[in-house]
């Protein structure tokens, strides 16, 4: 059983990471690292701050191995990230890698390697884990493709041979759909059904606050409404099914 002081250690070293990686890392340092990589002095300044803060927040003055481990892995991860495009996927991978290394170092520091391995094995051999993972994956790409296929004929009707007529923010509709289905599925699994109604109302206000004077505007509103209702219906049906499976398994 992990004690409260051991959890507090993990929280402190994560705080040190957040301070070093965001609050105490100027934008021009990031820019220099992306351009020069391992040759950038700013990389070493940043990694030095990571090590110092980790040591201070750990507050175990006789232990230098954990701060060194976190510092070394932070350097390797930032080196890998340098030169990569400034995209969300690399940011997420970067932060996940940092947190994984922090968690790994903490596990060895408090001496629960056997318990941690057993916990990881129990998670990956647990059907509810795979049910939830599959449900979130299904709510993104497969449902997105299905909705696109169903609404394709209306999109062609609106475009009328000119795809530029429907041009908007690149992939904005895809990201909106992913986000709303992710949120709805989460609300259902948390049994927060009232929040789904708030989400529907909020999206309706943003989507349909304009006037529908012309025939084209009406068609566009109907097209968006069809896509939205399909997205919501599929997400709700999926959430109900997943909740039922989890209840039966529990």
What is the structure's pLDDT at 241?
Answer: 95
Report pLDDT digits (tens) over 15-36: 999 999 999 999 999 999 989 9
Give 91-129 pLDDT, tens digit per residue.
Answer: 999 999 999 999 999 999 999 888 888 888 888 899 999
Which pLDDT band holds residue 197 (cuts at 50, 70, 90)?
A: confident
Q: Does the structure show a pLDDT above 60 at 207? A: no
Dist. CA 214–CA 108, nearest whole Å = 66
Proportion of the chain above pLDDT 70, given as a percent = 89
Q: Helix 172-189 and helix 127-150: axis angle, to 10°?
A: 140
Three-class secondary structure of residue 169 per DSSP: coil
Q: Where are the alpha helices (DSSP H) in the chain?
A: 4-18, 27-36, 41-58, 65-81, 88-110, 113-124, 127-150, 152-159, 172-189, 193-207, 215-249
Q: What is the mean pLDDT of the chain?
A: 87
Supply the pLDDT for residue 61: 95
pLDDT in tens, 48-62: 999 999 999 999 999
SS3 for 15-34 is HHHHHHHHHCCCHHHHHHHH
Maximum mean pLDDT: which of 43-47, 173-177, 217-221:
43-47
d(CA 138, CA 156): 26
3-state secondary structure of 194: helix
In the structure encoding, which two tokens stand for residue 13, read together? 């070293």
The pair of structure tokens assigned to 208 is 């349909």
Residue 208 above 60 pLDDT?
no
For residue 205, what pLDDT is reported? 66
Q: What is the pLDDT of residue 214?
A: 58
Q: How confident is the model at residue 151 (pLDDT cuts 50, 70, 90)?
A: confident
Q: Please give the residue that has the higher pLDDT: either 157 or 81.
A: 81
Residue 133 CA to residue 123 CA, distance in Å, equals: 12
Domain boundaries in the chain?
A: 4-123, 127-249
Residue 63 — very low, low, confident or very high, per pLDDT cuts 50/70/90? very high
């Amino acid at each position: 059983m992990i004690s409260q002081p051991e959890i507090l250690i993990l929280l402190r070293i994560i705080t040190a990471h957040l301070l070093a990686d965001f609050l105490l890392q100027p934008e021009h340092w990031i820019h220099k690292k992306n351009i020069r990589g391992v040759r950038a002095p700013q990389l070493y300044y940043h990694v030095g701050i990571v090590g110092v803060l980790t040591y201070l927040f750990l507050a175990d003055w006789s232990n230098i191995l954990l701060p060194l481990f976190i510092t070394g892995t932070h350097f390797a991860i930032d080196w890998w990230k340098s030169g990569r495009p400034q995209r969300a996927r690399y940011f997420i991978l970067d932060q996940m890698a940092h947190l994984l290394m922090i968690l790994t170092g903490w596990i060895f520091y408090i001496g629960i390697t056997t318990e941690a391995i057993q916990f990881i094995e129990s998670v990956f051999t647990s059907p509810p884990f795979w049910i939830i993972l599959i449900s979130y994956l299904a709510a993104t790409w497969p449902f997105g493709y299905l909705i696109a296929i169903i609404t394709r004929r209306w999109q062609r009707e609106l475009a009328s041979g000119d795809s530029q007529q429907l041009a908007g923010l690149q992939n904005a509709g895809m990201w909106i759909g992913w986000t709303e289905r992710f949120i709805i599925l989460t609300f259902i699994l948390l049994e927060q059904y009232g929040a789904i109604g708030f989400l529907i109302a909020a999206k309706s206000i943003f989507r349909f606050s304009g006037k529908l004077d012309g025939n084209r505007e009406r068609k566009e509103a109907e097209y968006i409404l069809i896509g939205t209702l399909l997205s919501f219906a599929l997400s709700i049906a999926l959430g109900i099914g997943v909740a039922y499976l989890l209840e039966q398994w529990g």
